[in-house]
Structure 1
């Protein structure tokens, strides 16, 4: 259904013994862990490239009729596609276990976690579900932390539950983190406020933003 695409984790076949799919292993683990481990050492141009790659992957699967429905940094893998230098690190979208696809009769009955989900939306998977999540993922890539959170993992289950409730309440009130001065800030806000009707629109906006950065060197 999805075919081969540079932004999608590679399918290697079926494992009879394990009764599961064989997927390519990413050289640098998932995006969430990479951001936590490397923090401020990640160059800004890599972060910007990753933002585009996130939008590229979602635009591609939406064109194929697939809604991921569980987008978060853990579901992107970081892989050195050409060499071990940081400039070669690219993203793969993975974990389609909760995805929705009408053509295939898939209804994963899954929705994103708080912080990556619009609590004011219908509680069904639709393209807008993924687009809102993209806004939070771009924000996380550029800042190193989730919306309304400090960097680093949760220490306790209570801390996670408290965060979930707080961010859900803020998003329900249409209160979003400050994105002024952030690369693609207006695009992130647009994802959160339903400015974009398709992931292709988000991708185009990022391309235009990156072209402006390259032209003016800002």
Structure 2
């Protein structure tokens, strides 16, 4: 939603910050989301499936859960060498608290290197844990960053620079923007550099309007500076 020059200027001005949004702490054990994403194992029933089947640890569940485990194993959804992960009384969590949020984020180089180092040191445990976790991309970096922030006070966070509308009533969420949303997009503050979602098949003109408006505005700014 901003020109390349505006994006560069904003990121340079805020180069000491990480841009990531945390919309929930996965800590309430009575919450269904916590159960699905932390206490249970999430397994895709097929490569084409968009949903998950949730399994509890075998030693704390009933016969129905165990039968489902066997079916998924026979179908290749659970690898036999991973069986020890499931034969437990509870799923072992890597963190005291799990965090989630939008998977649209941006880190500066120093923090990126710290995250990569943490992943390298804990690769085996992290990959094994998140292999059977639903929507891991909405938790993986969020939780690791929070873990690093416990011991590193130099990491400072600002909200994500993406404008995403999750609030509109009577619409499929997040909202897919069309030309009717053009004025709404133009009114967004300078910290929103990008927006989603858009669909070329649904409405391509809204993107043309954004491009035209940004290019025309920057052209006018350049002329003004030259004068």
Larger Rg: 2
Q: TM-score w.r.t. structure 2 length?
A: 0.21
Higher RCO (C-alpha 8 Å, min separation 6): 2
TM-score between both structures, scaled by the size of structure 1: 0.21
